[in-house]
Amino acid sequence: KRSKLLFEMEKRPQVFISYRGKDLRLTLVPHLKHHLNDSNVNVFTDSNAAGERLKNLLNHIKNSRIVIVIFSISYLESRWCLDELAEVRNCLLRKKLDFLLPVFYKVRTYQVQKQTGDFGKPFRNLKRRHPHHRVIRWKKALRFAAKSIGLAYRENSS
């Protein structure tokens, strides 16, 4: 029984990657997963289970140790991504998660923090369709993540 339990513990994701967009799904995310897996790090992305329910994704966040959030121009098109981010913030504040690494992929930190520019356009549409308390929760999570130490990936980054 003990060896089975240890195996199950090792199989759970150590890193959860939150992102949105076909460009990331086909470029940056596979490379990142490959390098983490080569280092014996278990990684979960929602592409592992297309159509997986949000509740299950939130459980994967809770069971991970590190979350990498890749903010791209299309990130705010998804209320699911925003709900994931809000859960990440809650887990970090309750010490249920060890670390958040935001990656700013062709967007600026201030755009994430203030939901401005092209990055913020989808958020303005979401704000009209969702309850105020939910929008406030998302804004807090975006500000929290934007203030965290992260990485910037610009147009000519390699």
Specify the CATH number for the domain of residue 140: 3.40.50.10140
Q: Worst-scoring range by mean pLDDT, 9-13, 30-34, 83-87, 135-139?
A: 9-13
CA distances from 82 to 14, 16, 126, 130 (A): 21, 14, 10, 12
- Structural domains in the chain (count): 1
Q: Are strands 66-71 and 15-18 parallel, antiparallel or unpaired?
A: parallel
pLDDT of residue 2 exceeding 90: no
Which structural domain range is residue 87 located in? 2-153
Is 3 a residue whose pLDDT tops 90?
no
Q: Please give the Cα distance from 64 to 82 (Å, whole number).
A: 18
Distance of alpha carbon 30 from alpha carbon 19, whole angstroms:
12
Q: Is residue 125 part of a domain?
A: yes
pLDDT digits (tens, 9 = 90+) for 32-86: 999 999 988 999 887 644 455 767 888 888 889 999 999 999 999 989 899 999 9
Phi then psi for 31, rounded to 5 degrees?
-65, -45
Query: pLDDT at position 158, please?
Result: 52
Q: What is the pLDDT of residues 85-128, one digit of tens each?
A: 999 999 999 999 999 999 999 999 999 999 999 999 999 988 89
* 5 has a pLDDT exceeding 90: no
Does any domain span residue 158? no
Confidence (pLDDT) at 136:
97
150, 103 in Cβ contact below 8 A?
Answer: yes
List, by residue number, the catalytic residues.
84
Q: Is residue 118 part of a domain?
A: yes
Helix (H, G, I), strand (E, B) or coil at 94: coil
Q: Judge whether 60 lies within some domain.
A: yes
